Amino acid sequence: MSIEVKNLFKYYGEQAAVKDISFNVKSGEIVAFLGPNGAGKSTTMKVITGYIPASSGNATVCGMPVNVDSLDTRQIIGYLPEHNPLYLDMYVKEYMGFVAKIYKMSDVKDRVSDMIKRVGLEVEQDKKIGALSKGYRQRVGIAQAIIHDPKVLILDEPTSGLDPNQLVEIRELIRTIGKEKTVMLSTHIMQEVEAICDRVVIINKGEIVADDKASALANESNVQTVFVEFDKSVSKSQLKKITAISKLEATESGWLIESTETDDLRKLIAQFAQENQLLVLTLRKEEKSLEELFKNLTKS
Ligand code: ADP
């Protein structure tokens, strides 16, 4: 197991930020740590990276407890904190060299140029960090997190504040790095999970409320939604005769129909069409959305 968190509590003074959370991340996984603002994501990540101590419970990375062995675990962990603290007055190459020296690396020059290539910073490498766009600054942040070739990478909100193009590029970079490393990334954006991650751990108000594969979680919701388009117009009151319906919404070309029954709603709709001499032009089961589940699990 790459990351193991067991019965972890973290208090800031009287306030509990994280309450009795436990989860594991297997080697090679890319796991999303998803939750609304203030849920406890950064706090948990700071404990895992050994930046702050837990109040109780424990966290281990590759079998090493982070609290007592913090310097050793930092050698196997790469960390991109939420606000990506960079030295804006330093040049990209200079900063990367500085980080490599902190890790006491011997082949600093080669390693820096490898990293610059790896994260796509070649064109920007001679600029000051302060002159870079947010997307390129994130690349510098990711490069400093992987320069010592850690086994585990912890990324706190790595795509927040990026424009749509930068977002796609950074996700792609994380996916590529994730082929070789265990990655845990925090986010409050659902699409991020679907785009990058194998598994998702959802946290709300300091507690874990879900932990599963993204696709399995989406299917857990017992609501089925079907889109249907008939050849003739049909009124809401007519459709309401389909007994299993829990929600009806007219769209431009047809109807979105929801049901909480276990029977396949499409069968009932087909039957309704037959009884009312209607032709079904489109009948489509909508993918269940993780977003819906997230909303349900984290609403206050
Ligand atoms: P997230 O990363 O999910 O947005 P955080 O871990 O930053 O959540 O915060 C969890 C809770 O702990 C919030 O209520 C936040 O206000 C509180 N908190 C975070 N850091 C501190 C701190 N240094 N001192 C006091 N409270 C804090």
Q: Are residues 209 and 227 in the same domain?
A: no
Q: Are residues 112 and 177 in the same domain?
A: yes
Q: Are residues 213 and 272 in the same domain?
A: no
Final residue before a domain boundary, out of 172, 194, 218: 218
Q: Are residues 241 and 139 in the same domain?
A: no
Distance between CA atoms of 297 and 161, rounded to whole angstroms?
25
- Listed residue (64, 28, 24) closest to 151, CA to CA: 28
Q: Are residues 158 and 195 in the same domain?
A: yes
Q: Are residues 199 and 254 in the same domain?
A: no
Nearest atom in ligand 1 to the alpha carbon of residue 18 is 10
Rounded distance from Cα 40 to ligand 1 centre (Å): 6
pTM metric for this prediction: 0.81
pLDDT beyond 80 at 75: yes
Q: Are residues 103 and 40 in the same domain?
A: yes
- Listed residue (30, 34, 26) closest to 191, CA to CA: 34
Nearest atom in ligand 1 to the alpha carbon of residue 13 is 25
Rounded distance from Cα 24 to ligand 1 centre (Å): 22
Instruction: Give the model's confidence band at 68: pLDDT under 50 very low, under 70 low, under 90 confident, else very high.
Output: low
Dump pLDDT digits (tens) for 176-221: 999 999 999 998 887 788 788 989 999 999 999 999 887 777 666 6
What is residue 300's predicted lDDT score, i.e. its pLDDT?
Answer: 62
Nearest atom in ligand 1 to the alpha carbon of residue 206 is 10
Nearest atom in ligand 1 to the alpha carbon of residue 10 is 12
Query: How confident is the model over 98-113, as a mean pLDDT?
Result: 92
Final residue before a domain boundary, out of 198, 218, 238: 218
What is residue 272's predicted lDDT score, i.e. its pLDDT?
Answer: 94
User: Out of 97-106, 149-158, 237-246, which region has the weakest mean confidence (pLDDT)?
Assistant: 237-246
**Residue 252's CATH number:** 3.30.70.980
Residue 34 β-bridge partners:
187, 202
Q: Are residues 213 and 230 in the same domain?
A: no
What is residue 76's predicted lDDT score, i.e. its pLDDT?
Answer: 93
| Ligand 1 interacting residues, C-beta cut-off 6 A | 12, 15, 17, 35, 37-43
**Residue 199's CATH number:** 3.40.50.300
Buried b (16+ CB within 10 A) or exposed e, 281-297: eebeeeebebeebbeeb
Final residue before a domain boundary, out of 165, 188, 218: 218
As for how many domains the chain has, the answer is: 2
Q: Are residues 55 and 143 in the same domain?
A: yes
**Percent of the chain residues topping a pLDDT of 70:** 96
Distance between CA atoms of 53 and 286, rounded to whole angstroms?
45
Phi-psi region of 16 (alpha: psi -120 to 50; beta: other; left: phi over 0): beta
What is residue 219's predicted lDDT score, i.e. its pLDDT?
Answer: 67
Instruction: Give the model's confidence band at 260: pLDDT under 50 very low, under 70 low, under 90 confident, else very high.
Output: confident
**How high does pLDDT run on average in the chain?**
90
| Residue 248 belongs to domain spanning | 221-298
Q: Are residues 245 and 213 in the same domain?
A: no
Rounded distance from Cα 260 to ligand 1 centre (Å): 37
Instruction: Give the model's confidence band at 12: pLDDT under 50 very low, under 70 low, under 90 confident, else very high.
Output: very high
Buried b (16+ CB within 10 A) or exposed e, 76-107: bbbbbbeebebeeebbbbebbbebbeeeebee
